Amino acid sequence: MKEEKSRKRVYVGMSGGVDSSVTVALLKEQGYDVVGVHIKMWSDPSIPCNFKEDRYDAMRAAEKIGIPFQTWDLTEEYRTAVVEYMIREYAAGRTPNPDVMCNRHVKFGVFLRRALEAGADFVATGHYARIRNQESGIRSLDAARDKNKDQSYFLWTLGQEQLKHCLFPIGEYTKPEVREIARKFSLPTAEKKDSQGICFIGEIDLNAFLKKHIPMRPGLIVTTAGRIVGEHDGLAFYTIGQREGLGIGGGIPYYVAAKDATANTLVVAEGPYDEKLFRQELAVMDVNWISGSAPPSGGFRCEARIRYRQPLQKCTVNLQPTTYKLQTIFDEPQRAVTPGQSIVFYRGEEMLGGGIIV
């Protein structure tokens, strides 16, 4: 009995996919006292959802591994922190990243808090990332070994208080290795395809979803040279860099370059190399540093990405003390810098933190 109590207890968020199933199997093998939790985050009968199927797959994996399994309904928290946030941001003309907010407020917010209240020492997820303990006692968040699957970009809002209670076991493995581990344990999710789309909602027609919540406000589409080429349904339904769905004919590839809210005009570039599609400097708000400490006010050199899986780009980061925002200056101009999206900073393998592009 004493030995049982001395084991560290981990609550694992089980999505029903192969990554979280292998996370459970690895932790159980390492001697942790593991509890599987499937988190219900979405309930809208008008939009298809795989909740029941995913929950069943998670339950089957938990049964195969031999751990307790629970279902937690966090639909209200998800609706408030993720869905309503997403709608507000699009309505304001920005392009949010709901996966980042899901991690911030749900998985490593309410789920972590409730797990600790229930007696957990840690929570774990199937994220491809790595936690490294430095000699100073600071916990670093590093990119995964599998650079094609690395998800550190979506975890920039975490801090030391969360990381001391987090485990990311599959960050040390490649995706093929994870699937091989799943086969070794004969997990029912071993060959299940990866989910796509918005965190815990999945693949939806985003434009149709937004039009259910944001009124249309048609206006003109003009080129960067000022030529009228069409009409838009409302600036909220377009994002910087977008090419598809503009409804402009003529054979020229048009890309959204800017949104003029004052004139209610959508500005498009003619071709992918129009200089109006590129920015070298940008401002950043809502900044978080993984270490918990801000960098020197004089600025520093590092690398950053402004979208998931973008190759890292060299830049200089300066703190703006008058606005409490960061200024980022890239060595090379960046294409389709999108307000509302995340910029995430790295130094080598270490993810330093990030913020929201203004």
Residue 16 annotated as part of some ligand binding site:
yes
Question: Do 225 and 312 lie in a common domain?
Answer: no
Closest CA to 297 of 327, 319, 274: 319
Distance, CA of 290 to CA of 197 (rounded, Å): 26
Residue 200 has pLDDT above 50, yes or no: no
Q: Is residue 20 part of a domain?
A: yes
DSSP 118: T
Question: Do 232 and 339 lie in a common domain?
Answer: no
CATH number of the domain that residue 241 is part of: 2.30.30.280
Question: Do 178 and 123 lie in a common domain?
Answer: yes
Q: Is 102 a catalytic residue?
A: yes
Span 35-58, mean pLDDT? 83
Q: Cβ neighbours of residue 44 under 8 Å, at least 6 residues apart? A: none
Distance of CA 20 to the CA centre of its chain: 16
Span 216-240, mean pLDDT? 97
Percentage of the chain with pLDDT > 70?
92
Residue 230 annotated as part of some ligand binding site:
no
Question: Do 297 and 254 lie in a common domain?
Answer: no
Q: Is residue 159 part of a domain?
A: yes
Distance, CA of 91 to CA of 4 (rounded, Å): 52
Question: Do 252 and 317 lie in a common domain?
Answer: no
Mean residue pLDDT across the chain: 92
Task: Write out pLDDT tens, residues 63-108.
Answer: 999 999 999 999 999 999 999 999 999 999 999 999 999 999 999 9
Question: Do 338 and 269 lie in a common domain?
Answer: no
Residue 18 annotated as part of some ligand binding site:
yes
Residue 39 annotated as part of some ligand binding site:
yes
User: Under a CB-based contact definition with an 8 Å cutoff, are residues 106 and 82 in contact?
Assistant: yes
pLDDT tier for residue 324 given thresholds of 50, 70 and 90: low
Q: Which of 166, 199, 302, 315 is catalytic?
A: 199
Question: Do 293 and 158 lie in a common domain?
Answer: no
pLDDT tier for residue 42 given thresholds of 50, 70 and 90: confident
pTM (2 d.p.): 0.93
Residue 320 has pLDDT above 80, yes or no: no
* CB-based burial label for 349 (10 Å; 0-12, 13-18, 19+): middle
Q: Is residue 267 part of a domain?
A: yes
Question: Do 241 and 293 lie in a common domain?
Answer: no
What residues pair up with 268 in beta bridges, in sequence order? 223, 256
Number of domains in the chain: 3
Residue 123 has pLDDT above 80, yes or no: yes
CATH number of the domain that residue 40 is part of: 3.40.50.620
CATH number of the domain that residue 341 is part of: 2.40.30.10
Q: What was the pLDDT predicted at 329?
A: 96
Question: Do 164 and 37 lie in a common domain?
Answer: yes
Q: Is residue 208 part of a domain?
A: no
Residue 20 annotated as part of some ligand binding site:
yes
Percentage of the chain with pLDDT > 90?
84
Q: Which of 102, 166, 302, 315 is catalytic?
A: 102
Question: Do 62 and 115 lie in a common domain?
Answer: yes
Distance, CA of 59 to CA of 65 (rounded, Å): 10
Q: What was the pLDDT predicted at 280?
A: 97
Residue 298 annotated as part of some ligand binding site:
no
Q: Is residue 298 part of a domain?
A: yes
Q: Is residue 191 part of a domain?
A: no
Question: Do 135 and 233 lie in a common domain?
Answer: no
Q: Is residue 63 part of a domain?
A: yes
Tokens describing residue 261: 């809210």
Least-confidence region, from 125-139, 230-244, 319-333: 319-333
Residue 1 has pLDDT above 50, yes or no: no
Question: Do 72 and 154 lie in a common domain?
Answer: yes
Q: Is residue 316 part of a domain?
A: yes
Domain carrying residue 53: 8-184
Q: Is 49 a catalytic residue?
A: no
Q: How many CA atoms lie within 13 A of 97 on its CB side?
A: 23
Q: Where is the domain boundary, 228, 249, 273?
A: 273
